[in-house]
Amino acid sequence: MTHDAAASADLLALARRIALVAGEHAVEERRRGISVAATKSTPTDIVTAVDRDTEERIRSMILDARPDDGIFGEEEDTHVGSSGLNWVVDPIDGTVNLLYDIPAWSVSIAVVDGPPDPAHWNALAGVVVNPVSGEVFEASLGGGARLGDRELHVNEDVPLNRALVATGFGYAVERRRSQAEVLVHVLPRIRDIRRIGSAALDLGALAAGRLDAYYEIGLNPWDHAAGGLIVREAGGRIGGLRGEAESDRMLVAAAPALFDELTALLEETVV
């Protein structure tokens, strides 16, 4: 299926409107108080009622506007559509930050042409909203990336040893142990590390020049669908190791030259 820039811009406008409404709702729910509704992969991998309520609200707004599209989200079963377009939704990215009232969590919504698999989709529109700060990172295919009214571009010409690099960690003990081993290898060779707690905000920050690079093992498609398009439209490169596409095995994002340096470093330790 082919989509022109105008169609992608229309999808972005809808995604932005939905994300802003959902984010406002989530902030109101957080003010009323929050509790852990369930755990997922481990006792520290939590889901709150806000996550579930926010995803339900997002799904309802999507289906009201575009009933033939599919929806692939974190908290609920996939809704299979007939249009070929899929909405990839993370209702709250940074749930632990939300729980602790750390103002670094986001609503992430992308629209992709094709299946909800990063190796086979073509991202058309993506928006990442931080409802606490009010910042809106967004991009449409061929339309560039923006933070509010500001056009975004990744930092260029940053050598690896001067790069401020973000990452994140999983919930399972064994994964954390292996991620720590990678970090020990990476940290002495870069400027410093940042761990914000929301992959979507990390990618938005990279596009905005607040970070130079980002890598993480174990991401799900909804964690980076919107942020990945924002980085690409800001001139960045995203992929995995050894020429692979980004996946749960690894996602690396940076300006093209730094991407090559960082992936080479990571390939020394990641099997």
On whether both 139 and 194 belong to a single domain, the answer is no
Which of the listed residues 98, 130, 151 is the one where a domain comes to its end?
Answer: 151
**What pLDDT does residue 34 have?**
78
On whether both 20 and 124 belong to a single domain, the answer is yes
pTM here is 0.95
How far apart, in whole angstroms, are the C-alpha atoms of residue 89 and residue 267?
30
On whether both 70 and 180 belong to a single domain, the answer is no
**What pLDDT does residue 265 have?**
98
Q: Please check whether residue 252 is in contact with residue 240, taking contact to mean a CB–CB distance below 8 angstroms.
A: yes
Q: What is the pLDDT of residues 2-22, one digit of tens each?
A: 568 899 999 999 999 999 999
On whether both 109 and 134 belong to a single domain, the answer is yes
Q: Please check whether residue 109 is in contact with residue 69, taking contact to mean a CB–CB distance below 8 angstroms.
A: no
On whether both 187 and 204 belong to a single domain, the answer is yes
DSSP category for residue 248: T
Token pair 């481990």 is at which residue?
42
Mean of the pLDDT values across residues 12-37?
Answer: 91
Mean of the pLDDT values across residues 55-81?
Answer: 93
Q: How many residues does the chain have?
A: 271
On whether both 145 and 38 belong to a single domain, the answer is yes
Please give the structure tokens belonging to residue 248.
């749960």
On whether both 200 and 135 belong to a single domain, the answer is no
Which of the listed residues 151, 179, 202 is the one where a domain comes to its end?
Answer: 151
On whether both 169 and 94 belong to a single domain, the answer is no
Element (H, E) at 135: strand 135-140
Q: What is the pLDDT of residues 74-93, one digit of tens each?
A: 877 899 999 999 999 999 99
Owning domain of residue 230: 160-267
Which of the listed residues 151, 183, 212 is the one where a domain comes to its end?
Answer: 151
pLDDT reading at 165 higher than 70: yes
What separation, in Å, do the N-terminal and C-terminal C-alpha atoms of the chain show? 36
**How many domains is the chain built from?**
2
On whether both 122 and 27 belong to a single domain, the answer is yes
CATH number of the domain to which 203 belongs: 3.40.190.80
**What pLDDT does residue 77 have?**
80
Q: Please check whether residue 59 is in contact with residue 73, taking contact to mean a CB–CB distance below 8 angstroms.
A: yes
On whether both 48 and 136 belong to a single domain, the answer is yes
Q: Please check whether residue 108 is in contact with residue 222, taking contact to mean a CB–CB distance below 8 angstroms.
A: yes
On whether both 126 and 225 belong to a single domain, the answer is no
Q: What is the pLDDT of residues 135-163, one digit of tens each?
A: 999 999 999 999 999 999 999 999 999 99
Please give the structure tokens belonging to residue 49.
């009622």
On whether both 253 and 166 belong to a single domain, the answer is yes
CATH number of the domain to which 132 belongs: 3.30.540.10
